Amino acid sequence: MIKTLEKIQMTIGAIFLLVFFTAIIVQIVTRHLGISVIWTEEVANYSFIWSIFMGASVMVSKREHFSFDFIIGKLKGKSKLSLLIVIDVVILLFSFALFYYGIIAVQNFWNYNWTSIPELKMGYVWISIPITGATMMIYSGSQLFSSIKAFRGRGAQV
């Protein structure tokens, strides 16, 4: 399930990154031609936000987002696992806050409209925050479970 969720987020992030680059290229070309296209900047900004949040969550899944690589590389055994458990707990708490306050932000800003495309709601942008928080909780919770299992000597991969 974790790998499937990771692939879905990578795909969503890649799509939004493609939309970002496309909007930037359209903006460059239309400015060069003297054509005013007002939606490109907003589309670029919001698609970049989605891309970043999806990528950040996947980085948590791969333990590439927040860690002390230098220190972890020097530690062995239970001391390494202890540090990994602390990191997992910190990420889990941060992810919960991201999820909780992200939902509040979505509720507050859902009915605001985009400036350049008033048919679109700002909620579609803001919903990336609780989605990222939820998936980061899944990833960090799974890693925490594996770290605790390994700490107890039950052979889980960390």
Confidence grade of residue 140 (pLDDT, cut at 50, 70, 90): very high
Residue 36 is encoded by which pair of tokens?
């005013």
- Asked, for residue 134, whether it belongs to a domain, the answer is yes
Integer Cα distance of 28 and 35 in angstroms: 10
* Per-residue pLDDT tens digits for 100-129: 999 999 999 998 988 888 888 999 999 999
- On whether residue 86 sits in a domain, the answer given is yes
Instruction: Identify the domain containing residue 64 by its residue range.
Output: 2-151
The count of domains in the chain is: 1
158 domain-assigned: no
Q: Is residue 14 part of a domain?
A: yes
For residue 63, tell me if it sits in a domain. yes
Please tell me the pTM assigned to this model: 0.84
Question: Is 157 part of any domain?
Answer: no
